[in-house]
Amino acid sequence: MNALVINCSPVRTGATAEIARIVAEQLSGGYSVKSICIDDYAFAFCRGCRSCHDTAKCIMSDADVIRSIMDEFDAADIIVSVSPSYWADIPGQFKAFIDRCTPWCNTHDPHATIGTGKRGYAIALRTGPNMSECEKIIGSIEHFYGHLEIECRGHLGFTSIECRDDVEPIKKEIVDFCMNI
Ligand SMILES: Cc1cc2nc3c(=O)[nH]c(=O)nc-3n(C[C@H](O)[C@H](O)[C@H](O)COP(=O)(O)O)c2cc1C
């Protein structure tokens, strides 16, 4: 079984990266784990041309970059997306990626597909104290999963997390969450 863990933050050394690292470590007992960071990839914004609504293909010159990420999705049985709040939403880099996944969106036919039976998990974190902001981020990730026909199986939200050092006190909660994956 394969797991894909995505650091949806462009920061490779922050709290999001640390949570993603703990998740990957925990899953490595039962899964072959691939970890990626959204900042590993450079791609342009979706232009909203809708060509893919008719062809299931993106006409942009860097379409192969998005396809390489979707190949990672295709290879995975489970996908865990870990996202911080940036201005009360997912980071722009991750949103830009989701927009570029429109060829795979099941609201139009034809559309590109990944394999069936995949399970998706979402983890959100933020510095502020209110959990509703995490719920919004989880909702964005689960919306994305839904249109890729990835079954949403669990989510977790953390408040009052600013930097890497803030993750140690919540490690047990992350480990417990991973035990149910
Ligand atoms: C550009 C930017 C915007 C942010 N906006 C928010 C926000 O709206 N609400 C919040 O609670 N935290 C916000 N944060 C804090 C991050 O959610 C927090 O530091 C998170 O724990 C770790 O993010 P990182 O792994 O990308 O460093 C923001 C951080 C950055 C860099």
Q: What is the DSSP letter of 82?
A: E
**Among the listed residues 94, 97, 149, 154, the one whose alpha carbon sits nearest the alpha carbon of residue 123:** 154
**Among the listed residues 113, 115, 133, 114, the one whose alpha carbon sits nearest the alpha carbon of residue 124:** 133
CA 133 – ligand 1 centroid, Å: 11
Instruction: Provide the whole-model pTM.
Output: 0.98
Cα 165 to the center of its chain, rounded Å: 22
Domain span at residue 89 reads 2-179
| Ligand 1 pocket test, candidate residues 82, 87, 89, 170, most atoms within 8 A of CB | 87
Look-up: residue for tokens 């960071």? 37
Which atom of ligand 1 lies closest to the CA of 158?
21
pLDDT (tens digit per residue) in 66-115: 999 999 999 999 999 999 999 999 999 999 999 999 999 999 999 999 99
Instruction: Please enumerate in sequence order all residues whose Cβ is within 8 A of that of 164, keeping only pairs 6 or more positions apart, or say none.
Output: 13, 14, 15, 17, 18
CA 56 – ligand 1 centroid, Å: 34
Phi, psi (deg, nearest 5) at residue 22:
-65, -45
Ligand 1 pocket, 161 CB below 6 A?
Answer: yes
How many domains, in total, are found in the chain?
1
Which atom of ligand 1 lies closest to the CA of 130?
11
Distance of alpha carbon 140 from alpha carbon 87, whole angstroms: 14
| pLDDT values of the chain reduced to their tens digit, one per residue, 181 residues | 999 999 999 999 999 999 999 999 999 999 999 999 999 999 999 999 999 999 999 999 999 999 999 999 999 999 999 999 999 999 999 999 999 999 999 999 999 999 999 999 999 999 999 999 999 999 999 999 999 999 999 999 999 999 999 999 999 999 999 999 9
* Strand partners for 155: 122
Give the domain CATH number at 19. Answer: 3.40.50.360
